[in-house]
Structure 1
Amino acid sequence: MVIDSLANAQKYAALHPLFAKAFEYIRTTDLASLETGKFEIDGDNLKGSVSYKTGMTTEESIAKFECHNKHIDIQVCISGHETIGWKPRETCTQQRGEYNEEKDVVFYNDTPDMYFALGAGQFGIFYPEDVHAPMIGNDNIKKLVIKVKI
């Protein structure tokens, strides 16, 4: 997992062959004007989604404690304040249901080991080994998630 501000995003371009393109999209796009919904950035390699809604309670978010097998998430807080729960997948012991191949998601009944906050202009990178519970907060949160194909 990586947590940083968009001002430092270029430092992470070398971590994956598609990160440079993802961060270029973020850098050259007026994030505040993005409409909610899903869209392609680079075919199946990079897909984006924008949400704008009131944050969830910790309990609501933990109910969707998730990770992915085929994608890395770059989650950007566009506006508001978001808290995210995190735990390493290797220490999770309570998988809930089977892996959903179509949606590339698996859920856990475990609880996060730690929480951290993102404000406007900050991002997190979540690899398949990062189980995360996003969108915790009381504010309206506008967020961009870029799914990076592994």
Structure 2
Amino acid sequence: MALFGSRATLRDQTADRPEAFAAAFSYLEEVFRPGSPAAARLAALAAGETKRVELSDGAFALEQAYWTKAREDGFFESHRRYIDVQVVVAGHEAMEVVDLSRVEQTAPYDAERDFIKHGEQVQASRLMLGEGEAAVFFPADVHMPSLRSGADPQLVRKSVVKVPVIA
């Protein structure tokens, strides 16, 4: 089941698996520390740019800057090998989430990208995330991120931490 809220709330909600999320939360502390290398990297990204940062224990972060998009330009996705910890660092965006059992897969699994594309689902739940807020999406959480939270596009700086699924 997807989790969302402040970083402190998410840390509490994942406390039963601290080893799995340790690298993610350590990295996020750096991202939100003014003047840190991670904060500087994210602030320097041009719109449309993504940088991969290797973390410990098989985790990595995708630091991103982009303009939010209209819902009709979005798509639902899920992953098998990684849990997404999506953290908005600057800006606001909407996300939608629905259980895997309620949506059809529309393309074959891309193992290299750990990516599955899914069909439309109008009964998805909508999340609104602002600066410092995050959502955790597990493999059963089909999600559509990067959506406009209002009528106009907004520049968002975000990090998606990919945490390996522990079998």
- Same fold (TM > 0.5): yes
TM-score by length of 2: 0.81
Residues of 2 paired with 1:81 and 1:119: CA distance? 4
TM-score by length of 1: 0.89
Show CA shifts across 1:117-144 (max 9, x none): 0000000000000000000012101100
CA contact (8 A) 1:13 1:20 kept: no
RMSD over equivalenced CA pairs, Å: 1.6
2:98 is the alignment partner of 1:97: no
Look up the match of 2:48.
Answer: none
CA contact (8 A) 1:5 1:122 kept: yes
4+ residue runs of structure 1 moved beyond 6 angstroms?
none
Task: Give ranges in structure 1 of 5+ residues lacking alignment.
Answer: none
Amino acid in the other structure paired with 2:64: S
Look up the match of 2:154.
Answer: 139
CA contact (8 A) 2:30 2:39 kept: no
How far the C-alpha of 1:13 sits from its partner, in A, is: 4.1
How far the C-alpha of 1:91 sits from its partner, in A, is: 1.3
CA contact (8 A) 2:95 2:126 kept: yes
Residues of 1 paired with 2:40 and 2:140: CA distance? 32
CA contact (8 A) 2:4 2:10 kept: no
2:83 is the alignment partner of 1:56: no
Secondary structure, counterpart of 1:4 in structure 2: strand
- How many aligned residue pairs are there? 146
Look up the match of 2:120.
Answer: 110
Look up the match of 1:26.
Answer: 28
Look up the match of 2:91.
Answer: 80
Secondary structure, counterpart of 2:109 in structure 1: strand
Look up the match of 2:54.
Answer: 40
The structure with the greater share of residues assigned to strand is 1
Residues of 2 paired with 1:13 and 1:87: CA distance? 20
Once the two structures are overlaid, the 10-residue window that deviates more, 123-132 or 112-121, is 112-121
Once the two structures are overlaid, the 10-residue window that deviates more, 26-35 or 80-89, is 26-35
Distance change (3 Å), C-alpha of 1:15 and 1:71: farther
Secondary structure, counterpart of 2:69 in structure 1: coil
